[in-house]
């Protein structure tokens, strides 16, 4: 009798877990950033971590960033929106056109998702150097973050802010070599985006 009860309890728990997974809203991230950023494993891991913080597992089912980046690329190719341009400021390629709301809706539906976190990051970089501060690459990034709700067919969260970060290599006075790794616009851009996402909060009750 006890054995039968145990089996029944386990069956009920399994059904509850399956129902919970089935009812969890599915969320993907859609990136409109320099292509190197979207395809870099470190950045994808950073975004996966942030997505987990914003959309807790159990309440939401998350599409891995690596998968959503590939699905976005394929969707753009199929819809004639995969052409790229090179940023004259730092030489990085990005998609030529930002997606319109109706295109975001279609892409989100193609991934069988209920929501999409749309993140656009556009940056400008500049160089500076001095004997006291060494060589510096500075990036100013405009972050545009939105949540698209498929059922409501509209953006239910929108936020836009500017973030700055630097990549440096210092000099030691009177010593004929520099210290630290080689600075780059990519490093400065990545740090700026990471800095901006760190404090990003979204009240999922209102999306």
Mean of the pLDDT values across residues 95-115?
Answer: 96
Considering all CA atoms of the chain, what is the largest pairwise distance in Å, rounded to the nearest integer?
85
Residue closest to 48 by CA, chosen among 25, 66, 75, 24: 66
The answer, yes or no, to whether residue 201 has pLDDT greater than 50, is yes
**Residue 156: what pLDDT?**
98
55-93 pLDDT, tens digit each:
998 999 999 999 999 999 999 999 999 999 987 656 688
The answer, yes or no, to whether residue 21 has pLDDT greater than 60, is no
Which of the given ranges, 9-23, 157-171, 185-199, has the highest pLDDT on average? 185-199
- Evaluate whether 131 touches 173 at the Cβ level (below 8 Å): yes
| CB crowding 54-64: b at 16 or more within 10 Å, else e | bbeeeebbbbe
The answer, yes or no, to whether residue 100 has pLDDT greater than 70, is yes
The C-alpha atoms of residue 56 and residue 172 are separated, in whole angstroms, by 46
**E strands present in 22-173:** 25-32, 60-62, 84-86, 93-95, 115-130, 134-149, 154-171
The answer, yes or no, to whether residue 17 has pLDDT greater than 60, is no
Is residue 15 packed enough to be buried (19+ CB in 10 Å), middle (13-18) or exposed (0-12)?
A: exposed
Residue closest to 171 by CA, chosen among 125, 126, 128: 128
**Residue 177: what pLDDT?**
47
Which residues lie closer than 8 Å to 197 by C-beta, 6 or more apart?
Answer: 46, 47, 50, 143
Q: H or E element: which one contains 20?
A: helix 2-23
The answer, yes or no, to whether residue 104 has pLDDT greater than 90, is yes
Mean of the per-residue pLDDT values of the chain: 84
Reduce the DSSP state of residue 51 to 3 states and report it: helix
Strand partners, 160: 144
Q: At what angle do helices 65-78 and 101-110 cross, to 10 degrees?
A: 120
CA atoms within 13 A on the CB side of 142: 5
């Amino acid at each position: 009798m006890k054995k039968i009860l145990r089996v029944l309890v386990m069956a009920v728990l399994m059904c509850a877990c399956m129902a919970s997974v089935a009812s969890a809203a599915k969320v993907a991230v859609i990136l409109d950033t320099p292509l190197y950023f979207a395809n870099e494993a470190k950045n994808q891991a950073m975004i996966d971590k942030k997505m987990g913080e914003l959309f807790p597992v159990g309440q939401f089912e998350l599409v891995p960033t690596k998968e959503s980046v590939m699905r976005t690329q394929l969707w753009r190719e199929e819809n004639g929106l995969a052409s790229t341009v090179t940023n004259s400021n730092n030489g990085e390629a990005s998609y030529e056109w930002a997606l319109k709301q109706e295109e975001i809706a279609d892409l989100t539906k193609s991934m069988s998702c209920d929501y999409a976190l749309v993140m656009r990051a556009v940056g400008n970089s500049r160089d500076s150097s001095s004997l006291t501060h060494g060589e510096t690459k500075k990036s100013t990034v405009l972050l545009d973050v939105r949540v698209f709700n498929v059922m409501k067919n509209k953006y239910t969260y929108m936020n836009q802010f500017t973030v700055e970060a630097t990549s440096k290599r210092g000099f030691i006075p009177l010593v004929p070599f520099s210290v630290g790794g080689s600075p780059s616009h990519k490093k400065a851009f990545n740090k700026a985006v990471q800095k901006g996402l760190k404090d990003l909060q979204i009240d999922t009750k209102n999306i």
